[in-house]
């Protein structure tokens, strides 16, 4: 698989988001592990998780432990695999998501994540979401301390605007290597953040990169090409003989050299199909169609 850069690390241009393997609706252990193995077989070397990826009522870190077990049981090489985890969020018993950016919480959370992932340093530790109750600089200060203490090697931030990216760069210096925001054919609000990352050489990891293109969209291509939102993606998919999800990921990769999509999957087939996007280079006319409105209309 072609590679992209995260700080001083080179990883496969398409990663794997492991949230669907870890939260409510997750598959059984065998299928979850097979999904991670299918991604690794296809050249994926960036696995995204978080300490909060567990079902409601579950224990923090279930997702990280799953990733660790999948890596331990993989038959091939794993020394080039970068596990990117996150801290600063939690779950409520009724399925909600909480945020906690207090430095004391982040220090403890990172140490626990490191233990679950096999020791320090954590390859990439991402501050999951700004906590409105804590000045962002204070949360970032805790990440800086974790870097200085050797608990974390590289840092990322998530769910942020351009101002916070610049602040994080001031505090974390060249250890800040990535920004993870929601971005997909349907949700393009983070365009300014994507552009700033390209300018600064930071990796931009679009989360929920497929948001909106459902699995059923694989069927009935001609009707779907009339879809005002995703018609362009279905048309290119039909012409190329690939899934619209693969087209969406190839379009994301073409947005900038620093984009690294992390599509989620709960089945080996979808993990494999998404990884194939790294080998799909869209032409200027296809990109112009997809760059316009999501459906491709002018």
Ligand X SMILES: NC(=O)c1ccc[n+]([C@@H]2O[C@H](COP(=O)([O-])OP(=O)(O)OC[C@H]3O[C@@H](n4cnc5c(N)ncnc54)[C@H](OP(=O)(O)O)[C@@H]3O)[C@@H](O)[C@H]2O)c1
**Min separation Cβ 298 and ligand X, Å:** 26
Mark residues 90-119: x for contact with ligand X by CB under 6 A, - for none: ------------------------------
Q: Hey, CA dihedral for 178, 180, 184, 189, is it positive or negative?
A: negative
Contact segment (CB under 6 A) with ligand X among 36-44, 201-209, 219-227, 288-296 equals 201-209
CB-neighbour burial class of residue 133 (10 A; exposed 0-12, middle 13-18, buried 19+): exposed
- Of 214, 198, 189, 267, residue with least CA distance to 33: 267
Q: Which residues from 2-21 bind ligand X, rule CB under 6 A?
A: 17-20
Among 10, 105, 240, 267, binds ligand X (CB under 6 A): 267
Residue 210 contacts ligand X per CB under 6 A:
yes
Catalytic annotation present for 53: yes
- Enumerate residues 26-55 that contact ligand X by CB under 6 A: 48
> Is 134:101 a contact under the CB 8 Å cutoff?
yes
User: d(Cα 40, Cα 54) in Å, to the nearest integer?
Assistant: 22
Is residue 264 a contact point for ligand X (CB under 6 A)?
Answer: yes
The helix-helix angle for 284-291 and 231-240 (nearest 10°) equals 160
Helices of type H across 173-267: 191-200, 221-224, 231-240, 244-255
Among 73, 149, 215, 297, binds ligand X (CB under 6 A): 215
> Which H or E element spans position 9?
strand 9-12
Residue from 113, 139, 243, 258 touching ligand X (CB under 6 A): that is: 243
Which residues in this chain contact ligand X in the complex, by CB under 6 A? 17-20, 48, 158-159, 180, 207-211, 215, 243, 245-246, 262-267, 270, 273-274
């Amino acid at each position: 698989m072609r590679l992209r850069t995260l700080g001083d690390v080179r990883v496969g241009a398409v990663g794997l988001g492991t949230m669907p393997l870890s939260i409510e609706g997750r598959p059984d252990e065998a299928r979850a592990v097979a999904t991670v193995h299918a991604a690794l077989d296809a050249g994926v070397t960036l696995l995204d998780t978080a300490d909060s990826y567990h079902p409601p009522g579950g224990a923090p870190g279930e997702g990280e432990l799953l990733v660790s077990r999948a890596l331990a049981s993989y038959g091939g090489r794993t020394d080039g695999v970068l596990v990117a985890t996150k801290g600063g969020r939690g779950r409520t018993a009724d399925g909600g998501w909480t945020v906690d950016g207090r430095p004391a919480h982040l220090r403890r959370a990172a140490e626990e994540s490191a233990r679950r992932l096999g020791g320090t340093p954590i390859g990439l530790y991402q501050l999951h979401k700004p906590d409105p109750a804590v000045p962002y600089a204070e949360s970032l200060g805790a990440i800086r301390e974790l870097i200085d203490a050797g608990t974390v090697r590289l840092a990322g931030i998530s769910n942020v605007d351009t101002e916070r990216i610049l602040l994080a760069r001031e505090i974390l210096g060249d250890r800040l290597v990535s920004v993870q925001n929601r971005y997909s054919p349907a949700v393009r609000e983070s365009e300014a953040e994507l552009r700033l990352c390209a300018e600064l050489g930071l990796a931009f990891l679009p989360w929920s990169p497929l948001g909106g293109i459902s699995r059923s969209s694989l069927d009935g291509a001609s009707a779907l090409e009339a879809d005002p939102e995703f018609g362009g993606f279905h048309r290119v998919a039909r012409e190329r003989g690939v899934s619209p999800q693969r087209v969406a990921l190839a379009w994301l990769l073409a947005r900038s050299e620093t984009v690294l999509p992390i599509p989620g999957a709960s089945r080996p087939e979808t993990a494999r199909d998404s990884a194939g996007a790294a080998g799909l280079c869209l032409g200027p006319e296809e990109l112009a169609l997809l760059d316009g409105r999501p459906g491709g209309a002018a």
